[in-house]
Every structure is written in structure tokens, then in C-alpha cells.
Amino acid sequence: MDFSNRLKNLPTQFFATLVQKVTLAVAEGRDVINLGQGNPDQPTPEHIVKALQDAATNPQSHKYSPFRGTTELKQAAANFYKREYNVEIDANTEVAIMFGTKIGLVELPLAMMNENELMLLPDPGYPDYLSGAGLASVKYDTMPLLEENKFLPDFSLLTDEQKEAAKLMFLNYPNNPTGATATKEFFEETVTLAKESNIAIVHDFAYGGIGFDGQKQISFLQTEGAKDVGVEMYTLSKTYNMAGWRVGFAVGNAQMIEAINMIQDHLFVSLFPAVQSAAATALNESQDCVEELVSLYERRRNALVEACLKIGWNVKAPKGSFFAWLPVAKGYTSEEFADLLLEKADVAVAAGNGFGTYGEGYVRVGLLVDEDRLKEAVARIEKLNLF
């Protein structure tokens, strides 16, 4: 039997290749410090786990969930946005519940675009954005994220043809992989462009809970007119260490929310109700666990940056997310540098070119091991005399 053209057109899964390399090194008995992953290393807070345990014993949780998610979780998402961002959300029409936000990012091109229509994607960007384009058989152009522009796309570089043709644009701040953050002015510019050119905006707010140096990340929906043109995706994976739970939501423009809900009506019967109940607990109750987590990541960030600067590695501290975006040593491509660190120092990092053409020249480092391991990783790299 043969695969469909739809599957044949999908991009190679970048992270699967990275995992294979690390797995082989570990199988050889090597002590690999894995900084290439994006998998949170801390446990889910106890009160959220307890909420799941309690809900799982309720026979009502053993039935099919409502197709479009429980009222409890949708209202919790609306409450969360009002409390955290002062954004009014209608729980009935402006919330879509999802199996993590990756599924929503892949679904939206299928739900809102026809074959060969154009979407705009950031470069570098989360590799799975390409999966949605491939499955929907749509075209995409990329918007360069350059350091000199603080890793924000320069909309003046879009041609009139691109602005006229584009139906959908993906943005992601705090950014994976660069750790850059957006500004109020940038989001205002985004809304203006979207209205002028009739482009729907999808803001991937996966790292919205993680901001450093006392700065709270801003939501796209805080921008005047944002709900007229777009939605924001929020996952519980990062903010609450619930990556394996697979729960997230989209909020914003009611028509785009309806598109997500309609396609999911045909694909799923929503999440296990007990998981939804625990997610509502995470959103509604004390956020002390989030503050503690952000402090942990900030300490790790500071330890990494300080160690790098000491060995002459001229790096810049990320403002958000749990990633650092570091320049490679002179004379190496991103992939060559990443392979060298794994082979000679037993340190795994993600090569920047895996995130797009403009990721070349960088590697992504995750702040997902403790401070001592981060310092040890840099000490190993120092011995290679690259800087």
C-alpha cells in the first residue's frame, strides 16, 4: 500500500531526528547533557494532580465529554484572560478547547483555507507550523526574524502581492526558538495590517506565562481590535508543567473559534473530562506555582548566560520562554556546531537551521536542566577552545 500525497508532502519531523542522535549517544553509555529538548522537567503542581485524581473518581468523568469541551473549562479560560490580561472573553463563543495547542495550529489552515492559498509563517519558527501547511495543501511564505529587528517580522518587507493573497498569519511571542518578546506597538501594527489586508492572525502564546526581569508578557488580545482579526492559542503545557496532559485552548475571534470547533466536531469528542476539570483548577486557583516556576527558569537563564560570557561566548539573555538562542562559533554552520558539541562535549543542542533558513548561525538551548548541569555543559564546551 502507498501513503497519500498529503502524507508524502509533510516535512521531516525535525525533533524526531534530534532525539535519535541523542538516544544513540546515550545508548553508548555517554553522559549527555540534553539541552536540545523542549520538554518541561518539573512535575505538575500537586494541587492540579489532586484535582485530576478527585475528578477521575467521579462516574460523570467516565462518559463522553461534550464535543466542544466542558462549560467549566471554557469559563475558566475566560476567567483566566480577564484576570491576567483584562481581556473579556465570551466562554460560549470565543473559546475552543484542544488536545494541546499543537493540534489547533495544524487544524486552522485546514479549517480556514483552500488548497494553494497563501499563509505567512515566521522564520525561524516552530517546525510544526509547516505541518498544517502540508496537510492543508496550502502555500506559505516566510517572514524573516532578524536579530537587528529584535526578532520581530518587518511587515514593510511584505509585497503588495503577498498582502493581497495571504489568508492566515502565524506569530509566536515569547518566541520559540529565539526567546524574543513582542511589544504593544508591534501588535498594534499587526492588527492594522490584518484589517487592511484581510489577513487572519493566529498568535501562538505557548510561553505566555514565562517572562523575566519582572516583565509580564503581553497578550495579542490586549490590542484594540485584535479579536476582530485573530485568535490566541494558550497551552497549559509550559505554564503549569502539563505537557503530557495535552490540554490547551484558543480564544478570540468567534468565527475562527467556530472553525476550530467545527473541524474538531468531526475529529474528536473532546478531552477526558477529568483532565478538563484539573485544567480548570490550574487556571482558576492560586498562581503561586507559576511565579515559582518563572523564578526557577530565570535563575537557570542567569546561570547559563553568566557561564557563557565567562568563556567568551557572546550571548544575549532571552526575555521570555525557556529557551536561549545562541550564536554558533565562527567557522561552523548550525548543524556542524550542534554535531560537534554532541560528539566532543556530550552536550545536545538544537541546530538553528531546523527552525528555518534564518535560524542558520544559531543553536537553541533549553533551560530544562538544573543550574549545575547548565554550568557543566558550558564548562565542557569551554574545553573545545571555540571562543
The mean pLDDT of 325-344, rounded to a whole number, is: 96
**Separation between Cα atoms, residue 15 and residue 37, nearest integer Å:** 8
* CATH number of the domain encompassing residue 365: 3.90.1150.10
Does residue 161 share a domain with residue 102?
A: yes
pLDDT tens digit sequence for 188-246: 999 999 999 999 999 999 999 999 999 999 999 999 999 999 999 999 999 999 999 99
- Reply yes or no on whether the pLDDT at 6 is more than 90: no
The number of distinct structural domains making up the chain is 2
The whole-number pLDDT of residue 302 equals: 98
- In a domain, residue 201? The reply is yes
Pair (39, 186) in one structural domain: no
In tens, the pLDDT along 342-355 reads 999 999 999 999 99
Beta bridge partners of 347: 33
Tens digit of pLDDT for each residue in 91-132?
A: 999 999 999 999 999 999 999 999 999 999 999 999 999 999
At 14, list the grid cell. 525535525
Number of Cβ atoms within 10 Å of the Cβ of 169: 26
**145 with 122: CB under 8 angstroms?**
yes
Final residue of a domain: which of 240, 261, 284? Answer: 284
Same domain, 239 and 304: no
List the beta bridge partners of residue 144.
123
Predicted confidence (pLDDT) per residue in 245-254, tens digit: 999 999 999 9
Domain of residue 111: give its range.
46-284
Q: How confident is the model at residue 12 (pLDDT cuts 50, 70, 90)?
A: confident
Residue 149 has what DSSP assignment? Answer: G
Give residue 8's pLDDT.
87
Q: How far apart are CA 379 and CA 184, in angstroms?
A: 39
pTM: 0.96
Q: Has residue 297 been placed in a domain?
A: yes
pLDDT of residue 185: 98
For the stretch 253-282, pLDDT in tens is 999 999 999 999 999 999 999 999 999 999
- 260, 341: one domain: no
CB 60 within 8 A of CB 273: yes
